[in-house]
Amino acid sequence: MSRWEYFAKRLLLTIPVLFSVLTFLFIMLRAGPIDPVAARLGPQAGAADREAIRERLGLNDPLWEQYVDFITDFLTFNFGQSWVVQAERDILDIAVSAAPATLWLGAWAILLPLFIGIPLGFYAGLNPNTLGDYTASLGGIVWQALPNFWLSVMALALLRRTREGGELLGINWYTLGPDFAARDISITGTPRLEWFSTTDVLMLPVPYISDWTALAIDIKLILPPALILGSASMAAELRIGRTAMLETVNSKFVETAKAKGLSNRVIVWKHIFRNALIPLLPVITSEAFLLIGGSVIVEQIFNINGLGRIFFQSLTQGDLPMAGALLFIFTVIILGLNILQDFLYTVIDPRVGYDQ
Amino acid sequence: MPDPANGEAVESSKRRRLLGLLGGGAAVSLAGCSDQEPSDGDDGSDGSDGEDGMDGEDGEDGEDGGDEPERTNADKAQAAWERATSNPLPEDEDLRQEAYIEMEEALRDDAGLIPLYHGLTERFWYDYVDVPLSGALGAHWQQYNTTTVEGDTDLNLVNSTFDELDPIMSTDTASSAVITQIYENLTAFPNGVPEIENQLMSEYEVSEDGTTWTFTLRDDVQFHDGTEMTAQDVKYSWRRTVESENSERASFTTNQPVGLGIDVETDDDGNVVSDSLAVEVIDDYTIEIQLSGPNPDVLDVIAYSSFAVIPEGYVGDIDGYDGEVSHQEFSTEVANGTGPFELGEFNVDEDVTVVRNDDYYGEVADVEEVNWEIIEDTQAAWTYALEQNADIFAVPTFAYEQDAIDAETDDRGREVGTYGPEGELNEEVNYLGVSEISTFYFGFNVSNTQRAVRQAIAYVMNKEQIVQDVFAGRGTPAYSFLPPAIWPTGNDGYNTFLDEYPYSLGESDLQGAQSVLQEADITSDDPVDLTLTTYESEVFQTAGELIRDLISGTGINMSLETAQFSTLQSRGEDGDLEMYSLGWIWSWPAVPYGMFQLEPLNTDTSTMPSETNGFYLDWQTQLEEEAE
C-alpha cells in the first residue's frame, strides 16, 4: 500500500469515528441526568411555564426524530440556539465570538513550550548526567506535576501583589512593559485583539499590525495563562526531547558521521536534530487536546471569555445543545489534527504505511 | 423526660403572652390557637405533646369547637391559609398576619420543614464611592443615579454572566441589576429596601371588592428615544408577559396568589387568547386591570422586572405588532426604556456599559457611565477588586475575615460599618451586611418520616455552628421559614417567635432529641432509618454530615446522598424523598409568595407538578378535617 493510499484510508476512517461521536453525544445529552428545563427556569417556575419551555425546546418530540434532527443539524454546523448559558443566541455566533481569545491563548501556549521545552530537552540530552541536565529534568518534572488550577491561582495572587509594595524580585508586573495601572486594565480579562487592521494589496485584504501598544497589552495579558496552560506540554517536550536526543546521539549513523570527520555542529543540527524531531511530532500535535481541556480551567480563573470557559459554563448549567456543539467542534478539531499529523508523518517519514 | 416537659410548660406560657400581644380578632384566636387556651391544664403533664399540641388525648378540643375531630397541625395550617386567602382586603391585614404566623407555628411544631439559614449579602466599597445602602431584596434593585464616585465619571462593578436584557426573560439577579438601570416599572423597591414606592405610577385606586385596580401614570416620562410613555405602552408590555413565547414568568401575571392574577382567556389547548388579558387603557395615563380575585400584594408584584414598561410595538413577538427590532437584537443589542441609564454596549460574557440618560424625569445620574465587568471566577473577581477596577465588590470567602468587620446594626437590621484593612486589602473599605429574603431549609416528606424523628433532627441541629463552619459566618441562622425582614408582625414579633422556639437555639440539644425519640419508642435498639438527599451544595452536605454525626446512637440511622438539583426536584414531585434540602428566594417581599407552598393541600406530591406546586411535604396526609 502506498503512503497516499494509507493517508486516504485514514481520512475515510474518520467518518465512522465522527458518527459514533455524534451518537454518543446524543445519548449523553438526551438521556443524561440533566434536565434542561429545570436548569433554565430555576426552582421558582410553575408547571405551566415548564411545559411551555419543554415544548419550545422540542423535548416532547419522539426520540428518533430528535436524533435525526440532531445529526443533520450538527453535520451542517447548524447548532441552533443556546438554551441556558446565552439563551436564544446562535451557538455558532457564540463560538465564533469566543474562538479568537482561545486561539490567541492556545497559540502562545504552544509556542512557549516549543521554544523553551524543546531546546532545554535537547540541551539536557546533549549533556546527559550533568548538573544542567539534572536541573532541567527535575524542573520539568516538578513543573509538570503542578496542576494548572493551582498554578493559575498562585500566579494571580503573586502578580496582583506586585501592584503596591509587594514586588516580586523587584518587578512590578503592572508597570512592566505596557503600564496596566495607568490604563486601569486588569491583569485578568479577555484580550481585545484589536491591534490589526487590513489593507488592500492588489485587491486582497492583507492584515497588518496597526497598534503596537495594543498588541503588547494583549501579549502581556496572555503570557501568564499561556505559560501555565503550556506547562504540562512544555515538560513533556523537555523529557521526550531529552530521550530522543540521547537515543539519536548513541545511534550508529552518528558514529559514522563522526568517523567521517564531520564537525560537531553539522552532526547535531543536520543529523541528530532532524531525527530527534520525529518522536516529538505526535507530542506537539496532541498538545491540542491538552490545550482544549486545560483552557477550561485557565480561562475560568483568568476570566478569559474563550471556548473553554463557555464549555465549562454550558456543562455546569445544563446547556445541552451548547455543550454538545462545542464537544463536536473539539472533536472535529482533534480529528483534523490527527489527519494533519498523519499527513506530516507521510511526508517526513517514508517508512510510514499500513503494512509493515 | 422531665426536662422537656418543663420546657414545654414555660414555652406554652410564653406563647400565651404572644397571643396577648398580638390581640387581633377574637375569632382568630379561637379558631387557630386552641392549644394555647389558658384553661388547658393538661399541657404540663403532657409535656412531650406540647409542641404539637393537639396530638394527645388531652381533651382540650371540647373547649373550642366541640364537634371537631382531633385537630392536627396540618389542619391548623390549612385553616389559617384559607382564612388568609379568603380575607384579601386591605383592612384584613392583621387577620392575615396572624394566620401566616399560625401556619409558621404549625410547621415548626410538626417540624415538617426545618429552616437552616437565610442568605446574607455583603457589599464592600472603596471610600471614594458614595452609594445608598441596599436592602434585603438585594442590590440588583438599586438604580445608580444617586451614586457618586469621587474623582471619576464612571462607576465600575462586577457582575455574573447573563445573556438577556429582555425584562420578561430575566430570571436572575445578574441581568436584573442591568435591567433596573434601563427599564422601570409602575412601582419599585428603591435600593432593594422592602418598602414599595411609586416609580412610573403616580397613584392607584382599588375597587371595594379588591379585584379592579386603576393605575394613574406619571405624565412626564419619556423613553430613551424621546417618545412619551403612555398607558398603551404598559398594556403592550404586560401583554408580552403572557403572550410572548419568550416570557418565562407568565405565571406571575395570571396566577394567584403567586402573582397578580389578571383575568385572561385561554383556548382549548390552554394557550392564552391574543389580547384577552384584562388590562384596559382608560386614557393616555390611566390603566385598569381586572383580577380573577382580590390580591393584597398587587403593588409588590408589579415591581417585579417582568412588568417593566417598554415602548408599544418595540418587539413583534405578540399578535398585532411587527416590531421595530428583532427579538434577538432586543435581547442583547438594543434597549429603549425609561430608566436613568441607556444601554451603551453589551459584550455577552465580557462587559456591559450603560450611559447616563440626561432627560431622566427623576434625579439625573451623577456618573456618566456604569460598567460591569463580567467575572465568574472568585480569584479573577478578587484580583479585579484589589486593583480598584471595581468600585463596589464582594470579598470571596478565602480572603474573608469576619473579625475585620466593624459594623453596627441599623434600624432595618442591616450591619453597616467598615471592613479591613485585612490581608491583601490595604485600606479600610465600607461594609454592608444584609440578611436576604431567602430561606434555605431541610424539608421532610411527612408521610415518609415520623414526627418524632423530624423533631429530634430539629433538636440536634445547631444552625449557628453550621453557618459558622460552612460560610465563615456569612449567613443568618434561620428559625422560621419567613425571613425576619418580612416577618408579618415585625422585628418584635420575630423576636417573640425566637424566644419561644422549642428546639435548640444556638446549641445542639441531644437530650431533647432523645426525649422525643423515647416518647415514640425509637431507641438505639429499635432504630429507624432516615435518608437525607441534598443537592450539590457544600453547605447542605456539611450540615448533613454534622447532623448525622450528632444524631448517631439515638435511634436514627441517617444516611446521606447527593442528587442533582433537577433530580431532587423530580424525586420530590414523585414523593420519593424523606429528608431533603432546598431553598426559596422571594422575588417580591410578600408573605404569601412563599407561604402558598406550605398550604397542606398544595403539598400533595401525587398531583405535582400539574395541580399542586407546594413544597414536597405531603402535609395533606395529616389533615383530619374536611377541607373547605
pLDDT of residue B213: 95
* Lowest mean pLDDT, pick from B19-23, B396-400, B418-422: B19-23
The answer to whether the CB of B516 falls within 8 A of the CB of B4 is: yes
Q: What percent of chain B has pLDDT over 70?
A: 88
Q: Find the CATH number of the domain harbouring A98.
A: 1.10.3720.10
DSSP SS3 for B63: helix
Query: What confidence tens digit (pLDDT) does each residue in B55-91 have?
Result: 433 433 334 444 455 788 999 999 999 998 888 877 8
State the complex-level ipTM: 0.79
Interface test with chain A among B256, B348, B353, by most A beta carbons within 10 Å: B348
Give the list of residues 6+ apart from residue B130 with CB closer than 8 angstroms, or none: B147, B148, B149, B150
For residues A138 and A141, give the distance between their C-alpha atoms in angstroms, rounded to a whole number: 5
Q: What CA–CA distance (Å, rounded) separates B192 from B436?
A: 10
> Is B582 part of the contact surface with chain A (CB cutoff 8 Å)?
yes
- A322 near B CB under 8 A: no
Strand partners, B315: B325
Say if residues B78 and B601 touch (Cβ distance below 8 Å): yes
pLDDT at B394: 93
Partner-chain contact B331 A301, CB within 8 Å: no
Would you place residue A5 in the very low, low, confident or very high pLDDT band (cuts 50, 70, 90)? confident
Give burial (CB, 10 Å; 0-12/13-18/19+) of B220.
exposed
Q: Which residues of B touch A189 (CB under 8 A)?
A: 350, 373, 380, 384
Residue range B129-372 forms a domain whose CATH class is: alpha beta
Contact (CB<8Å) A188/B567: no
Average pLDDT over residues B234-240: 96
Pairwise CA distance, residues B136 & B487, whole Å: 12
Indicate the range of B403-417, B444-458, B525-539 predicted with least confidence: B525-539
Least confident segment among A74-83, A283-292, B560-569 = A283-292
Q: Is the pLDDT of residue A348 over 50?
A: yes
Taking the CA of residue A342 and the nearest CA in chain B, the distance in Å comes to 37
Per-residue pLDDT, averaged over B326-347, amounts to 92
Cβ–Cβ < 8 Å for B481, B594: yes
Give yes or no for B271 touching A (CB within 8 A).
no
Nearest to A188 among B164, B380, B608 (CB): B380
Identify which has the larger pLDDT, B48 or A113: A113
Q: Which residue type sits at B474?
A: R
What is the mean pLDDT of the segment spanning B282-310?
93
d(CA B435, CA B482) in angstroms, rounded, equals 12
Domain at B63-117+437-622, CATH class: alpha beta
Show which of residues 124-153 on chain B sit within 8 Å of chain A, judged by CB atoms. Answer: none
Question: Which residues on adjacent β-strands are paired with residue B109?
Answer: none
The ranges assigned to domains in chain B are 63-117+437-622, 129-372
CB B354 within 8 A of CB B182: yes
Query: For chain A, first and last CA: distance in Å?
Result: 10
Distance from CA of B439 to the nearest CA of A (A): 13
In 3D space, the residue among B242, B311, B249, B240 whose CA is nearest the CA of residue B270 turns out to be B242
Given a cut of 60, whether residue B441 has pLDDT beyond it is yes
Residue B187 near residue B199 (C-beta atoms within 8 A):
yes
Residue B59's pLDDT is 37
Q: Mean pLDDT: which of A12-26, A254-268, B102-116 is highest?
A: B102-116
Higher pLDDT, B104 or B255: B104
User: Tens digits of per-residue pLDDT, A40-67?
Assistant: 665 555 566 677 777 777 777 788 888 8
Enumerate helices (H) and strands (E) in chain A, giving the number of each. 15, 2
**Residue A124: is its pLDDT beyond 70?**
yes
**Is A185 within the bounds of a domain?**
yes
Cα nearest neighbour of B385 on chain A: A186
Q: What share of chain A is helix, strand, coil (3-state, %, to 5)?
A: 70, 5, 25
Chain B CB contacts of A39 below 8 Å = 566
Tell if the CB–CB gap between B164 and A87 is shorter than 8 Å.
Answer: yes
Predicted local distance difference test score (pLDDT) of residue B337: 95
Hey, is the C-beta of A256 within 8 angstroms of any chain B C-beta? no
Burial string for A92-119 (b: 16+ CB within 10 Å, else e) reads eebbebbebbbebbbebbbebbbeebbe
**Partner A, chain B 225-254, Cβ-Cβ below 8 Å:** 245-246, 248-251
pLDDT at B41 over 90: no
- Compare CB distances from A35 to B566, B585, B608 and report the shortest one's residue: B566
| pLDDT greater at residue B512 or residue A349 | B512
Q: Do A43 and B161 touch (CB under 8 A)?
A: no
**How is residue B484 annotated by DSSP?**
G
Q: What percent of chain B has pLDDT over 90?
A: 51
Measure in Å the smallest separation between the Cα of B388 and chain A Cα atoms: 8
- Strands of the sheet with B279-283, listed across from one edge: B201-206, B212-217, B286-290, B279-283
For residue A164, what are the domain limits? 92-316
Q: Determine the 3-state secondary structure of B187 from DSSP.
A: strand
pLDDT for B227: 95
Mean pLDDT of A105-123: 86
B455-486 pLDDT, tens digit per residue, is 999 999 989 988 888 878 888 899 999 998 88
Q: Look at residue B1 and give its three-state secondary structure.
A: coil
Any chain A CB within 8 A of the CB of B350?
Answer: yes
B268 and chain A in contact, CB less than 8 A: no
The alpha carbon of residue A69 is apart from the nearest alpha carbon of chain B, in Å, by 22
Whether residue B115 is preceded by a cis peptide bond, meaning omega within 30 degrees of 0, is: no
Q: Is B269 on the interface with A (CB under 8 A)?
A: no
Q: Give the C-alpha separation, A133 to B502, whole Å.
A: 71
* Chain-chain contact of B386 with A160 (C-beta, under 8 angstroms): yes
Identify whether A81 is part of a domain. no
The domain total for chain A is: 1
Other Cβ atoms within 10 Å of B290 Cβ, number: 16
Among A38, A44, A85, beta carbon nearest to B566: A38
Residues of A in contact with B251 (CB under 8 A): 45-46, 48-49
B562 touches chain A (CB under 8 A): no
- A106-120, A312-326, B435-449, B483-497: segment of lowest average pLDDT: A312-326
**Cis link prior to A279 (omega < 30° from 0)?**
no
Would you say residue A127 lies in a domain?
yes
**How much is the average pLDDT of A143-168?**
82
Q: Can you give the pLDDT at residue A168?
A: 63
Q: Determine the Cα–Cα distance for residues B504 and B510; give it in Å rounded to an integer.
A: 9
Q: What is the pLDDT of residues B208-229, one digit of tens each?
A: 888 999 999 999 999 999 999 9
Q: Which residues of B touch A300 (CB under 8 A)?
A: 376-377
- A41 part of contact set with chain B, CB < 8 Å: yes
Q: Which amino acid is at A191?
A: P
Do A80 and A92 contact (CB within 8 A), yes or no?
no
Of residues A38, A85, A153, nearest to B565 (C-beta): A38
pLDDT score of B289: 95
Residue A86 contacts B, CB cutoff 8 Å: yes
3-state secondary structure of B514: helix
In this complex, the residue of B163, B426, B584 whose CB is nearest that of residue A164 is B426
Choose the mutation target among B349, B425, B437, B610 for the interface with A, i.e. most A CBs under 10 Å.
Answer: B349
